[in-house]
Amino acid sequence: MIHISYLILGLITGLFGGLLGIGGAVIVVPALVLFFGFTQHQAQGTILAAMIPPIGLLAAWRYYHAANVNVTAAVFIALGFFFGGYFGGMLVEHVPDMMLKRIFGIFLMVISLRMIFLK
């Protein structure tokens, strides 16, 4: 039964990922922590592993066909994400779970406030 819950979470995330370009950090990480009992570290590691093939491939394909992908920018961002993710994964091992939750929450709050109130 829990596998069905993960599938539903993935479907909801995929829908919002394709629609708004959000997903892993905004939907899945909080859901895994709040509803599935994951630690912050487990949630972040799980979504990084899960998002590689499905979200990037199909959503990007649709955006590409609508002429909404800058391929050069995407390649360089992917390279940065690849190496940055590796080093970020090394650094996060030394951050206590509660501190990581708070950093994550503050990050989401700051971003959301900027999106709401600034042009």
Per-residue pLDDT at 16 exceeds 70: yes
What's the domain count of the chain? 1
Cα 113 from Cα 106, distance rounded (Å): 10
- Under DSSP, the state recorded for 95 is S
CB-facing half-sphere around the CA of 11: CA atoms within 13 A = 6
Which is more confident, 16 or 68? 68
**1-5, 41-45, 47-51 — which is least confidently predicted?**
47-51
pTM of the model: 0.65
**How many Å separate Cα 40 from the centre of its chain?**
13
Q: Stretch 59-83: mean pLDDT, rounded?
A: 80
Contact between 27 and 12 under an 8 Å Cβ cutoff? The reply is yes
**Which residue segment(s) compose the domain that 53 sits in?**
2-117
**Per-residue pLDDT, 44:** 82
